[in-house]
Chains A and B, each alone.
Chain A
Amino acid sequence: MTEVSPGYFLALAGLLFTIGVVGVLVRRNAIVIFMFIELMLNAVNLFFVTFARMQGNLQGQVLVFFVLVVAAAEVVVGLALILLIARRRASLDVDKVRLLKW
C-alpha cells in the first residue's frame, strides 16, 4: 500500500473549505447556507486529522469529536431558529429578511 502524501489531504481540505465559503456567499436559502457552514467545519476536521497524522499524535483525531458534537448542537439551535422564521414568512430566502438595516 503506497503512502499518500499529506499534502493532498491538506489541499482537499482547503478546497472543501473554500467551496463552503463560496457556498455561504452565493446561496440564498438559509438551510443551504447552514449546510455549507457544516461543510466548512468538516473541512477543518479533515485538517485536524491530516495534521494528526503529520504530527504523529492522536490529539487531532480527538479534537474532531469535539467539533462533531459542537456541530450537532449548532444544528439543533440553528434549525430551530431558521424554522421559526420559515414558519412566519413561508420562505427560507435570507435576502428577504432585512427589516434591520442601516
Chain B
Amino acid sequence: MAAAVIALPLAGAAFLLFFGKRMSKASAYIASGAIALSFLSGLILFFRMLGEPGEERSFVMKVYDWVNVGGIHGNGELLLDPLSIVMVLVVTGVGTLIHVYSIGYMEGDPRYSRFFAYLNLFCAAMLILVLADNLLLLFVGWEGVGLCSYLLIGFWFEREVAAGAAKKAFIVNRIGDFSFLLGIFLIADEIGSLSVTEINAGAATMGTTLATVGALLLFGGATGKSAQIPLYVWLPDAMEGPTPVSALIHAATMVTAGVYVVVRFSPLFVAGGTTALTVVAWIGALTALWAALMAAFEYDIKRVLAYSTISQLGYMFIASGVAGYSIGIFHLVTHAFFKALLFLGAGAVMHALAGETDMRKMGGLRRAMPVVGLTFAAGWLAISGIFPFAGFWSKDAILAVAWEQGEYALWALGLLTAALTAFYMSRMYFRVFEGDLEVPEGIHVHDAPRTMAVALVSLGALSVVGGFFNLPGVLTLEHFLAPVLGEPEVPHGVIAWALAGAALVVAFAGIFVARALYLQPEGDARRERLEKTAPWFVGAARSKFYVDEFYGRAIVAPGKAFAGFCADIFDKRVLDGLVNGVAWVVNGVSSKGRHVQTGYVRNYAVIFLLGVVVIASFMFLRVGV
C-alpha cells in the first residue's frame, strides 16, 4: 500500500511523458486521478495506523533488496510512521487540490500534458523523500524533487528570466546537496548503516562532535532546499515558474523537505548536544525576520509570497531548534494550507489580469472577483495569525515553546516577525483587493473558473479550521506524532494566555499600521479636494503632511534604505555574487585553460614530457638518489 502511494503518481508521470502528446485535456484528469488515488491510499494507511496502539505505529516495509556493497548495505525500504504519514497526507492532499486548480490555470498552454507529467513526477519524488527509510533512497527523492522543481521553474523556458531562474535554483541547490551528501557519507561511515531508523537509534553512540558535524552537514542541505540563509536567494527568482508550481513546490511541499529532514533526524541533532539545534534555531529566526523585511518592500505579488514562504520556513526551523519538532510539523501543515491558498489566489488574480504581478497596478479586486477575494482574505488572516485561523494556532505554539525553553531572544525575534508578517500581508491584501477598482487597461476582470474555485474554497476552508488539528489542551496532532517525536514542553496557564495575547496584539498592530499607510490614497485624494475648496483646511492637511513626512523620514526612509541595502547590496551583490562568482570563476578558468590545448601536437608532447620529468624527479627524490 505504501508503495502504491508512490507508484501511482510515478505511473501517471511515465504514462503522460510517453503518451501525453496525443491527449490534451485527458492528461490533466489522468494526472489528477493518479494523485487523488494516491491521497486515498494515504488516507487508508492513516486510518489503518490509527487502529494500532501508539508504539506499534512505526514500521519499515522492505520493497526490494537494493544495494549491498562492502560495509554499506541499504535496501529499498519504506518507513511508515506517524511523521511520514502526515507528510504523505499533506503532499498528496494539497497536491490533489493544486492539480485540480491547474486544470483551469494551465488551459491553453502548448505543453499542457507535459506540465501534468512533471507535477506527477514531482509528487512521486516528494513521496519517495518522505517515505524513504534509506538515506540513499531519501537522496533519490531529494534530487528528484530538485530536478522537477528545476524543470517546472523553467517550464516557460522561452522567457530568458525563467531559464535563468531555473539555472540559479539548480546551482544554489547543488551547493546544499553537496553538504547533504557529505553528511550522508559521514553518517553512513560512522554508523555503518544507511537506514534512517538505525541511524536515529545509533545516533547516541556517535561522538558529540561527529554528531554535530553530521547534523550540520544535513542542515546545510536543508538550507538549500528550504531556502534559508545563506542559500535562500533562489526562491524569489523561482517565482518565474507557473503559479501552481509555486504553490505546490515552492510553498507547500518541496521547500519543507529541509524541515522534514531536520525533524526526521532529530535524535541525531540532539546527540550533538545543543550546538546543532542552536544553529538551526538561530538561522531560522534570522531568516524569518530578514525575509519578512524584504517582503515588506516588494511590489511583485508573487515575490512577496516567496519571501513570506522563506520567513515562515524560518519559523519551522525555530520550532525544530527549540525541540518543538511536532510543533514545527504542525506549522508545516497549516502553512501548506494557507500559503498554497495565497499562491493560488495570487495566481487567480494574475489569471484575471493577464499575467500582471505588480501590486501597484491593482486595487479593489474583491468586488470583481468575490470568491478569490474571500478565500484570499482567509489566507491573509491565517498567515497574519488572527484567532481562530490556522496560522494563529501554529505560530503561537512556536513562540510559546521558544519561551518555555528560555530562548527569549528567539521569542522576541519571532514576535517581531509576526508583526511584520501581519503588516506586509495586510499591505498586500489592501492594495490588491480593497480600495477602488484598479486594473490595467483593456482587461475584463473575471472571477476564478470552476476548477480553480474548487481548490481555492477547499484550501480556504482548511486555512480557517486547520488549527483545530492541534488545539491547545486537545493536541491531536502532537499526540499522534508523539511516538516518533516526543512531546514538546509548552507553557501552561497564565503565561500561555499572555503569550497568545501578545501574538494577537502584534498581529493586529501590523494590520492597523498597514491600514493607516495603504488605504491612504483615498486620504490623498480628499486632501487635494479640500485644498482647493477650503483653504482653511490646508493648514491641517499640511500638518498631516508633515507628520507623514516625519514618519517617512524617521522610519520609512531609513527602513527603506536599510531594506534597499539589504536587497541591493547584500542580497544581490554578496549572496548572489557568491553563487554567481563560483560559476564565473569556473567558467573563466575553463575558458582560459582550454587554450592549453593548442592543437599543436608538439605542444602536447611537451606537456607530456613535463609530466614525465616531474614524476621522474619525484621518484628520484623518493628513493634518495
A contact set with B: CB distance below 8 Å: 21, 24-25, 28, 33, 94-95, 97-102
Question: Across the interface, do A101 and B597 meet the contact criterion of CB distance under 8 Å?
Answer: yes
With beta carbons under 8 angstroms apart, the residue of B599, B602, B606, B609 that contacts A28 is B602
Question: Across the interface, do B605 and A25 meet the contact criterion of CB distance under 8 Å?
Answer: yes
Which residue from chain A places its CB closest to the CB of B612 in the assembled complex?
Answer: A21
Which residue from chain B places its CB closest to the CB of A102 in the assembled complex?
Answer: B594
With beta carbons under 8 angstroms apart, the residue of A21, A28, A101 that contacts B598 is A101
User: Given the complex of chains A and B, what is the CA–CA distance between A98 and B597 in angstroms?
Assistant: 10
Q: Note all chain A residues with C-beta closer than 8 A to B602.
A: 24-25, 28, 33, 94-95
Which residue from chain B places its CB closest to the CB of A99 in the assembled complex?
Answer: B599
Which residue from chain B places its CB closest to the CB of A97 in the assembled complex?
Answer: B601
Q: Note all chain B residues with C-beta closer than 8 A to A101.
A: 597-599
User: Given the complex of chains A and B, what is the CA–CA distance between A99 and B600 in angstroms?
Assistant: 9
When A and B form their complex, which 8 residue pairs have the shortest distance between CB atoms, in order from nearest?
A101-B599, A98-B599, A102-B594, A94-B601, A102-B597, A95-B600, A24-B605, A25-B605
Question: Across the interface, do A100 and B599 meet the contact criterion of CB distance under 8 Å?
Answer: yes
**Chain A CB within 8 A of B595 CB:** yes
User: Given the complex of chains A and B, what is the CA–CA distance between A33 and B601 in angstroms?
Assistant: 11
User: Given the complex of chains A and B, what is the CA–CA distance between A24 and B601 in angstroms?
Assistant: 10
Q: Note all chain B residues with C-beta closer than 8 A to A95.
A: 600, 602
Q: Note all chain B residues with C-beta closer than 8 A to A100.
A: 599
Q: Note all chain B residues with C-beta closer than 8 A to A24.
A: 602, 605
Q: Note all chain B residues with C-beta closer than 8 A to A98.
A: 598-600
Question: Across the interface, do A102 and B599 meet the contact criterion of CB distance under 8 Å?
Answer: yes
B625 vs chain A, min Cβ distance (A): 14
Interface extent on B, as a size class?
10 to 19
User: Given the complex of chains A and B, what is the CA–CA distance between A94 and B603 in angstroms?
Assistant: 11
User: Given the complex of chains A and B, what is the CA–CA distance between A98 and B555 in angstroms?
Assistant: 67
B contact set with A: CB distance below 8 Å: 594-595, 597-602, 605-606, 609
User: Given the complex of chains A and B, what is the CA–CA distance between A30 and B338 in angstroms?
Assistant: 74
Q: Note all chain B residues with C-beta closer than 8 A to A99.
A: 599
User: Given the complex of chains A and B, what is the CA–CA distance between A94 and B594 in angstroms?
Assistant: 20
With beta carbons under 8 angstroms apart, the residue of B594, B595, B609 that contacts A25 is B609
Can you identify 28 A-B contacts, CB atoms within 8 angstroms? A21-B609, A24-B602, A24-B605, A25-B602, A25-B605, A25-B606, A25-B609, A28-B602, A33-B602, A94-B600, A94-B601, A94-B602, A95-B600, A95-B602, A97-B601, A98-B598, A98-B599, A98-B600, A99-B599, A100-B599, A101-B597, A101-B598, A101-B599, A102-B594, A102-B595, A102-B597, A102-B598, A102-B599
User: Given the complex of chains A and B, what is the CA–CA distance between A21 and B597 in angstroms?
Assistant: 20
B596 vs chain A, min Cβ distance (A): 9
Which residue from chain B places its CB closest to the CB of A26 in the assembled complex?
Answer: B602
User: Given the complex of chains A and B, what is the CA–CA distance between A25 and B612 in angstroms?
Assistant: 14
Q: Note all chain B residues with C-beta closer than 8 A to A28.
A: 602
User: Given the complex of chains A and B, what is the CA–CA distance between A98 and B598 in angstroms?
Assistant: 8
Apart from A98-B599, A100-B599, what are 19 other A-B pairs with CB-CB below 8 Å? Answer: A21-B609, A24-B602, A24-B605, A25-B602, A25-B605, A25-B606, A28-B602, A33-B602, A94-B600, A94-B601, A95-B600, A97-B601, A98-B598, A98-B600, A101-B597, A101-B599, A102-B594, A102-B595, A102-B597
A81 vs chain B, min Cβ distance (A): 12
Q: Note all chain B residues with C-beta closer than 8 A to A94.
A: 600-602
B298 vs chain A, min Cβ distance (A): 44
Which residue from chain B places its CB closest to the CB of A37 in the assembled complex?
Answer: B605
Which residue from chain B places its CB closest to the CB of A27 in the assembled complex?
Answer: B602
Which residue from chain A places its CB closest to the CB of B593 in the assembled complex?
Answer: A102
Q: Note all chain A residues with C-beta closer than 8 A to B601.
A: 94, 97
User: Given the complex of chains A and B, what is the CA–CA distance between A28 and B598 in angstroms?
Assistant: 15
A93 vs chain B, min Cβ distance (A): 11
A54 vs chain B, min Cβ distance (A): 18
User: Given the complex of chains A and B, what is the CA–CA distance between A1 and B77 in angstroms?
Assistant: 83
Q: Note all chain A residues with C-beta closer than 8 A to B595.
A: 102
Q: Note all chain A residues with C-beta closer than 8 A to B599.
A: 98-102
Q: Note all chain B residues with C-beta closer than 8 A to A97.
A: 601
User: Given the complex of chains A and B, what is the CA–CA distance between A100 and B240 in angstroms?
Assistant: 40
Q: Note all chain B residues with C-beta closer than 8 A to A33.
A: 602
User: Given the complex of chains A and B, what is the CA–CA distance between A98 and B602 in angstroms?
Assistant: 11
User: Given the complex of chains A and B, what is the CA–CA distance between A100 and B600 in angstroms?
Assistant: 9
Q: Note all chain A residues with C-beta closer than 8 A to B600.
A: 94-95, 98
User: Given the complex of chains A and B, what is the CA–CA distance between A94 and B598 in angstroms?
Assistant: 12
Which residue from chain B places its CB closest to the CB of A30 in the assembled complex?
Answer: B601
User: Given the complex of chains A and B, what is the CA–CA distance between A21 and B598 in angstroms?
Assistant: 20
User: Given the complex of chains A and B, what is the CA–CA distance between A94 and B602 in angstroms?
Assistant: 8
User: Given the complex of chains A and B, what is the CA–CA distance between A95 and B601 in angstroms?
Assistant: 7
A8 vs chain B, min Cβ distance (A): 19
A11 vs chain B, min Cβ distance (A): 15
Q: Note all chain A residues with C-beta closer than 8 A to B594.
A: 102
A28 vs chain B, min Cβ distance (A): 7
Q: Note all chain A residues with C-beta closer than 8 A to B598.
A: 98, 101-102
B215 vs chain A, min Cβ distance (A): 45
B165 vs chain A, min Cβ distance (A): 31
- Among A25, A33, A99, the one with the most B-chain Cβ atoms within 10 Å of its Cβ is A25
User: Given the complex of chains A and B, what is the CA–CA distance between A95 and B598 in angstroms?
Assistant: 10
B179 vs chain A, min Cβ distance (A): 34
B588 vs chain A, min Cβ distance (A): 15
A84 vs chain B, min Cβ distance (A): 15
Q: Note all chain A residues with C-beta closer than 8 A to B605.
A: 24-25
User: Given the complex of chains A and B, what is the CA–CA distance between A25 and B600 in angstroms?
Assistant: 11
